[in-house]
Every structure is written in C-alpha cells, then in structure tokens.
Amino acid sequence: MTHAMRRATELALDEKTVTALRAVLKTTADEVVRAIIAEVPSYANALSGRMGGTIRRAVRTALGHYLDLAGGTGGGGDASDAAYELGRGEVRDGRSMDALLSAYRVGARVAWRGLAAGAVPAGLPAAEVAKFAELTFAYIDELSAASAAGHADELAARGLAHERHLEQLARDLLAGSSAEVLQAAAARAVWQPPSTLTVVLLPAAQARPAYRLLDHSTTLVLDDLPDSTGVLLVPEADRAHLLRQLIGRAAVVGPARPWTRASASYARAVRARSLSADIRDTEEHLASLVLSADPDAYADLRARALAPLLELPVATGRKLEETLRAWLLHHGRREEVAATLFVHPQTVRYRMQQLRDLFPDLGSPRRVLELTLAVGLQTAAD
C-alpha cells in the first residue's frame, strides 16, 4: 500500500465533500495549468494551443483519480501509470526532470488551494483538513516519483540506443561502407560528421581509458574487435597533441582522412602494426609502408636488382650491399659513406669499383631507382 493510499484510508471523504470537490475540479485544473505557465518558463509554449488542451485534460484526470482515492473508491494506479509516461514524454520533448518537478510543486500548491476552497464550505471538519492536506501532497509526491522513474528509464533506454548507433557507425566506418550508408548511420546516431577522422589502434583494455582522455563527445570507440584490439576514431585530430596524449600506451596512429574514408586510416594503422610493434605514428614510417605494400613484388624487385650480388660469397655480397646502400643514401659522397660504414675512404673506393664492375650501368637513373628501392626497406627501418 502506498503512502497516499494509507493517508486515504485515514481520511475517506464523505460523498457530500467529494461531490463539492468535483464541482471545482475543472476550475482548479485550469488554475494549475495557468500557474505552471506563469511560474515554470519551460512550459510557457508547451501548454499553449492543442497541447495545452491535452495537458489540461491530463491534470483534470489526475485530480479525478485523486478524488477517487480521497473518497475511498480508487487506488490511483492509473494516475501513476500516466505520470510515468509523462516523465518519458518529457525526455522526448527535450525537457529536464527539474522542469517537471517544478511544475509538480506549483501544481500541488495551486491544487491544494483550490480543493481546500471547495472542501471547507462543504463542511469538512477542521480536524480532517490537515489529513486532507497530507493526502494531497502525498499523492503529488507519488506522481512526481512515478514521473521521475519514467524520465530516468527513458534516458537510460535512449542512452543505450544511442551507444548502439554510435558503435554501428564506427563499424560501418571501419568496414569502408558507402557514403550513403555512412550518412544514414551518422543521422541515426545523431553524430555530426567532421571533416576528417584519424584512427588509433590500441589494445582493447586501453581503448576506454584513452577515450576518456580525449574529447569523447565526438570521438568514436570500439573495444571488441578481433585479436583484443580497440579502436578510436578521432575527429579533426591535432596530431602532435594526440600523440602526446597517447604517450605510454601501445597506440598506432593512422593518417587523417575524410570521414567517409576512415577505413583507409584504419587499414594503414593495421598494416603498420603488422610491420613492427615499435611504430606509433604511421606518418613517420611512410617509406617502410610503401615498400612493404606488395611483399611479393618487392621480393621480385630485390632479387632482380641485386642479382649480381647473389653470385658472390655471402660475406662479400653483404659488405657490398651495405656499401651500395650507404653510397645511395649519401649520394656518392665518399667521406660520408666511409663514416657511416666505419671504414677508410680508400676501402669505399675499392668496394665501389667492385660494384661498378657488377653494375656497369650504375650511373643510370633507372638503375639507381631500382637499387634504391631494393635496399630501401632496410634503410627505412634504420
């Protein structure tokens, strides 16, 4: 039994008093609505026009249930259900629970004043007036509690739905879905698309803590991808700032890409992670990423370009390859090549003569390009 029902059993207004109260019910309901409009700014527009008529009827219905309860002929259940739905509706209309509670407080005060004005002339004994007041405010408190529950449940349901929509949007982005699919997913998630997104890969356990460091009102996060991988999709990222925020975390940061092409940022971050566990900023390893884009093609290029070295003893071939790499890197400057290899410049001269014998066209642009690519992966890694 609710608090209001207990109060009602103690009071049980007689039929004469209830009849008198029903006579002022419509007037009291209208006064309640006018007072709410005047004192609670959030309802100034909501209670006008057709919506105002609906609310007035709802207030009259609530007061009618109250009189049933006060007269001992009703339990108030329907009114609590209506109040619960009212709380849910306030979320849909974009109003806070504070506004609704203020309306209840104003409504309780005005309703009590109007009902008391009808009850006392009807002969309600003075001793019963206090009980009548307690019942009135207990009833309003229960309606307030029911509305608060409806408001909270609707917020929770909307929060879960919103989170699911954001997660689906993130999955669609990583999957490289069409622009039409992505636009629809963003609309469902009530997410304003940015100009760019930058993908960050992390261990799944680090994704949420890192997410909380960022502006997570617009950042998207997933922490349930295969291989215990987490992903952040960061809008309009300040790259230097983002890298600083991720210090101490096993993060790989992809390039910034137009938001509908975030899958390209994701693909590059995934490939960078597969190359080395030490890569954090993919922009600092573009050469390695380019040279490793097609492993088979790179292996074929290397085998063909360096074929003359493969015919030499292994140790000799390795030394000449190191010399060739340094020579290409330093544009043939012998002193710098010698310093890089920790050998005498004459040694460099001798080895370069061997290389020219092996590669008669060593000075041609095409040969230089092929050899640079052939030895370039190790240079990029260094």
234 and 201 in contact (C-beta within 8 Å)? no
- Where does the pLDDT of residue 4 fall: very low under 50, low under 70, confident under 90, or very high at 90 and above? very low
Q: What is the pTM of this model?
A: 0.56
Percent of the residues in the chain that have a pLDDT greater than 90, as a whole number: 34
Per-residue pLDDT, 46: 61
Residue 3 confidence (pLDDT) above 60: no
Q: What is d(CA 179, CA 196) in angstroms, rounded to the nearest whole number?
A: 14
Q: What is the DSSP string of 341-365?
A: HTS-HHHHHHHHHHHHHH-TTTTSH
Provide the terminal-to-terminal Cα distance of the chain, rounded to the nearest Å.
78
* 187-234 confidence digits (pLDDT tens): 998 899 999 999 999 998 898 888 888 876 678 988 888 888 999 999
* 268-297 confidence digits (pLDDT tens): 999 999 888 888 999 988 888 888 888 888
* 26-74 confidence digits (pLDDT tens): 788 888 888 888 888 777 666 565 556 666 777 777 777 777 776 666 5
Q: What is d(CA 286, CA 280) in angstroms, rounded to the nearest whole number?
A: 12
Structure tokens at 104: 């209840």
H or E element at residue 225: strand 220-225
Per-residue pLDDT, 145: 87
How many other C-beta atoms lie within 10 A of the C-beta of residue 358? Answer: 17
